[in-house]
Chains A and B, each alone.
Chain A
C-alpha cells in the first residue's frame, strides 16, 4: 500500500502530520547556525512559532510568542539579538522566564515564562521535540557511520534554500530514490557517473534509512579519485532521518545536509548546506577550492532539475484520478510510506 494521493493535498492531513509526525522529532538546524550566545533561529510550523537560541546555558527552544501582546519575539530566520521582544522590550532569561517588562510589575502577571521544548543534539545536528518529549535520535549515529559522514564537521562552505511548490513528502520521496537519475539529471548526476542502473543498495532501521549508489565497474572513477586522495571512492552515500533530514556524502569528499520545512500542504522550504569531509580537508587548498566550487554547481543544477518534477507531481496528485503505484525501484519510498502510515495510526490510538 502507498500513501493515499489525498495526503499530499488535504489541509487537515497536513495539520495532522505536523501534530503527529513533526512534533515527535524534527531536524531544525546545525549548531553552526547558532554559533554564539544570542544567536537564534526562528521558524513557524503549523500552529507553532518557535525560536531556538544559543543562551548562556546552551541551546534552548522556546515559544517565540511574547507573553505581552503575542508579537513574535525573534523575527523569522537566523540572526543574533538579545532575547527581547521588539514591540515593548519585554525580555527573557536563558530558561525562558520573563526577566524584565518596562513600566510593568512582573509579579502581577499570570504567565511569567515561555513554553520550552526539549532538544536533542547529535554531533552538530539539532532536533526538537514539539510534543514535549525529547526526540529519539539514537539510530542516527549508526546511519552516519555507514555513510562515512562524521558526527561533527566543519562550518558549511555554502548554504542555499529553495521554495518548492509541493508537499513535503514529495521532496522526501524524490530524495530517497535513484530511479529518476537517468531521466532528470543530465547536468548533474549523469555526468558524475550516477544513473538509474547504478549499483544501489539500501538498508533501514526504525526511523532512518541509508543507501549507497556506485557506478558500475566499467564507469567507476574510483582509481582516478584515489590518485587525488586514498580515502576517496566514486560513490554516493545517502541518509534519511524521518521525517525531514537528509545527509549525503559524495565520493567521501563533500557532505550535503538538507532538510524540509513544511509550510502548507503544497509549499515546502528546502534548505541545504555543503561541508567538507575529511578526505577533502586533507587535500591542497587549490584542489579543495575547485571541488567546493564544482559541488556547488552540481548541487544547484541537481536541485533545479528536480524542482519541476516534484512540482509536476504535486499538480498531478491534485487531479481527480490521481493514483500512486509504487514498483520495485521505489522500495525505499515504500518503506517511507509504511513508516509514515504506522506513525499516523500509532498517534490515533
Chain B
C-alpha cells in the first residue's frame, strides 16, 4: 500500500478531491464529514484492502495517515 493510493481511495469513498487530502489531514474536521463517511471508509477498507475496520478505529484515528496505518495492520 502506498500513501497516494490510500489517499485516492479514501477521497473517493468520502466524495472529495484527492488533491484536498494529505496524510496529516484531520479527516473528521472536514466540512462534509458524517456517519455515512464512516460507513464508506469501512466499506472501502474492506473492498480495496481486505481490512476489517470498526467505527472505533475511525473514531480513534485523527489523521488520514493514522487511519492508513490501522488499515495496513489489518491487511491479510
Contact of A290 with B15 at beta-carbon distance under 8 Å, contacts A221-B36, A227-B40, A284-B47 already known: no
Number of interface residues of A (CB under 8 A): 16
Query: Interface 1/0s, chain A 286-300, versus B by CB < 8 A?
Result: 110111011000000
Cα–Cα, bound, A286→B71 (Å)? 13
Residue of A nearest to B45 (CB): A286
| B31 CB, nearest partner CB in chain A, Å | 15
| B45 CB, nearest partner CB in chain A, Å | 7
Number of interface residues of B (CB under 8 A): 15
Q: Which positions 251-299 of chain A face chain B at CB distance < 8 Å?
A: 283-287, 289-291, 293-294
Query: Interface 1/0s, chain B 38-58, versus A by CB < 8 A?
Result: 111011011100001111000
Chain B contact residues, majority secondary structure:
helix
Cα–Cα, bound, A224→B41 (Å)? 12
Instruction: Determine whether the beta carbon of B35 is less than 8 Å from that of A294.
Output: yes
Cα–Cα, bound, A227→B55 (Å)? 18
**Using a CB–CB distance below 8 Å, which chain B residues touch chain A?**
15, 35-36, 38-40, 42-43, 45-47, 52-55
- In the assembled complex, 28 residue pairs joining A and B whose CB atoms fall closer than 8 Å, in A order, are A191-B35, A221-B36, A224-B15, A224-B36, A224-B40, A227-B40, A228-B39, A228-B40, A228-B43, A284-B46, A284-B47, A285-B46, A285-B52, A286-B42, A286-B43, A286-B45, A286-B46, A286-B52, A286-B53, A286-B54, A287-B43, A289-B54, A290-B38, A290-B54, A290-B55, A291-B39, A293-B55, A294-B55
